Amino acid sequence: MSEAEAITTTERPERVFDTRLPFELSDELAKRVSDLGLEEAVQSANDHGYGYLHDIVPPEFVERLRATVIRIAQSDPGMGRPSAGSNMLLAKDPVFEEAVLNPSLLTMAEVLCGKGALISQVAASIKPKADQPGDGKGGLHADQNWTPAPFPVHNQLVTFCWACDEYSEAAGSTRVVPDSHLERRHPNAEETASEAGAIHTECPAGSVVFWDGSTWHSGGAPRTIDGERVVVHITYSRLALRPVECYDFLDEDWLEGKPYEMRVLLGREDFLNTPEGGFAHGVKLSRTMDWAKT
């Protein structure tokens, strides 16, 4: 019986008392890692905080993924300017369902975020050739940006960047600071500005680059060659920290005349967990990052 079948039965699962340490995989998860050829990716995540997934889909899938992103972005100003990208993609085309359910992504998500990990974001970006000089530095960050430092021993979040085009320095690939996950904190202002120690990730079109929630990286590198860099960014997060009770059904009419604190308590004043996704909230986004550090 598969796990998916097993959880639909009423049988009470065996109670677990000990929490596994990071990268202490169950036999079942270790077998899946091995069957999918992901040992190197797991080792790299553990050692350096990031890694690559190669040859996990046929070229046809990558072509379909890329074409879908371009089609949707043309009609969707999701990232501010037309054709820069889009978000909330899961519901916008079935190709994104295939992407988030890819066995290699799901297995790595379980390694890095545990069982029951949730989709946090399915977004895409389209980076054209730079029309201005500059090194694009200043955007270094850790994706678990709403977790205070020191970061917990257990990773909170993992981001997979599906490179629909080649990743190289000239192509404007993501820069990462290898081993920065060991710092267990956000980069400071100077580190963010200088991006010291950052290197360009490199892979062929169709491969996936991933990093854990504490690894410092930046997406600002300019593209210096012709064409566009199309990337699908898929983030999963641990299941923890969701409230027990869901009050999303309480609408603006219910909130009318109630104190601001009630809006805060219901998560209406931060940028998380909204049907518009992360790009539509202006000041709420940086406010969330600031509140998280208090």
Ligand X SMILES: O=C(O)CCC(=O)C(=O)O
In sequence order, the 6+-apart residues with CB closer than 8 A to the CB of 233 are 121, 122, 123, 124, 125, 159, 160, 161, 162
Residues 120-179 that bind Fe ion (CB under 5 A): 143
Angstrom distances, CA of residue 28 to CA of 10, 14, 34, 35, 285? 22, 15, 10, 11, 38
Residue 143 contacts ligand X per CB under 6 A:
yes
CA angle 45, 208, 94 (to 5 degrees): 125
Residue 231 as a binder of ligand X (CB under 6 A): the answer is yes
Applying CB under 6 A, among 159, 168, 180, 288 the residue interacting with ligand X is 159
Contact between 124 and ligand X (CB under 6 A)?
Answer: no
Which residues from 62-121 bind ligand X, rule CB under 6 A?
Answer: none
Question: Smallest gap, in angstroms, from Cβ of residue 222 to Fe ion?
Answer: 17
**Of 110 and 143, which has the nearer Cβ to ligand X?**
143
Chosen from Fe ion, ligand X, none, partner binding at 233 (C-beta under 5 to 8 Å by type) = ligand X
Instruction: Say how far apart CA 226 and CA 7 lie, in whole Å.
Output: 50
Q: How far apart are CA 123 and CA 92, in angstroms?
A: 11
Chain positions 189 to 218 lying near ligand X, rule: CB under 6 A, are 217
Instruction: Report the candidate in 271, 234, 216, 223 with the shortest Cα–Cα distance to residue 126.
Output: 223
**Distance, CA of 14 to CA of 154 (rounded, Å):** 23
Q: Which residue sits closest to Fe ion, CB atoms considered? A: 143
161 binds, among ligand X, Fe ion, none (CB under 5 to 8 A by kind): ligand X
Q: Which residues touch 4 (CB under 8 Å, ≥6 apart)? A: none
* 120 three-state secondary structure: strand
Q: Does 219 bind ligand X (CB under 6 A)?
A: yes
Q: Considering beta carbons, is residue 48 or 233 the nearer one to ligand X? A: 233
Query: Could you tell me the smallest distance in angstroms from the CB atom of residue 143 to Fe ion?
Result: 4
Closest-approach residue to ligand X (CB) = 219
Binding site for ligand X (CB under 6 A): 125, 143, 159, 161, 174, 217, 219, 231, 233
Binding site for Fe ion (CB under 5 A): 143
